[in-house]
Amino acid sequence: MRRLIEAAVLAMVLAGGLAGAEERVERNVVFGMYSGLALLMDVYHPEQPNGYGIVFISGSGWTRELGLDATPLKETGQEDIYAVPLAAAGYTVFAINHRASPRFRHPAHLEDAQRAARFVRHHADEYGIDAERIGAMGGSSGGHLVSLLGVLDGHGDGDDASPVNRESAKVQAVVARAAPTDLTLAAAGSNHPLFGFRRSDRTDSVEYRRFVAASPVTHVTADDPPTLLIHGYADAVVPYRNAEVMKTALEKAGVPVDLLRIPGGRHGPTFPGAENPPDYIGATIEWFDRHLPHR
């Protein structure tokens, strides 16, 4: 029955339905400032909260347009596909903007994602969620960032003047769609949007070491959160191999992990070209249902 409900929710979202969802969204909450630039998030408040929060990061190739009228990352439509069903399932969802290429380079993207997680944790009581059990979901470049929220220690700075920055940025459950988990698998022929320079094939080069350091797979340890990887098998932008190497690393560390393979699925939030795709929305909700509550 639950899968039928989730499928119906997804169908309504994709058709532009789900009446009343807009009224439950708190727009443009400021979660940080950078040199006068406000970092914004939209908060999706569920009608029947389950007491858990999820940081949601849309995919963008780590890049946004430079124009002052550019579409915000948090309003690209991916939130309709994933954040709305998560809110319908009871989760309070925090869809964020972050600084982006080409104006900003790594680690700016990551710093903003971590700031968002710290902000959500610091204000957990106000949002009615458990500060100790926060999840993260994202796709493509957003999948890269939420994976880093899972594998990095994310310790807060106890001496920071901001109480938000004293909070931990580590999340307790992750769902990553089409995530670039090993950046050394990226094509070496062109500048990478995260860095603005090419990946070198020389493993002793500064460039190669930076690609390694920014890869989630590099930082996997036994204390990392349960992670669901969802990846299209025909993805030519972020090859399926990324999911395989991350799954292997997490398994080796003893971390609960699963890989949902989308046959024929290419790169994109709905896996274009997928052949009888599994219920990836339902699987996402079930993963958080299983792993976010205290065990």
The full set of domain ranges for the chain reads 2-291
CA distance 99 to 113: 9
Which pLDDT score is estimated for 201? 87
The CATH T-level fold of domain 2-291 is Rossmann fold (3.40.50)
| pLDDT tens track, the chain, 295 positions | 444 444 544 554 444 444 344 459 999 999 999 999 999 999 999 999 999 999 999 999 999 999 999 999 999 999 999 999 999 999 999 999 999 999 999 999 999 999 999 999 999 999 999 999 999 999 999 999 999 999 999 999 999 999 999 999 999 999 999 999 999 999 887 899 999 999 998 999 999 999 999 999 999 999 999 999 999 999 999 999 999 999 999 999 999 999 999 999 999 999 999 999 999 999 999 999 999 998 6
Q: Where are the alpha helices (DSSP H) in 216-279?
A: 241-253
Q: Residue for token digits 């990551």?
A: 110
Which pLDDT score is estimated for 274? 97
Which pLDDT score is estimated for 96? 98
CA distance 127 to 103: 32
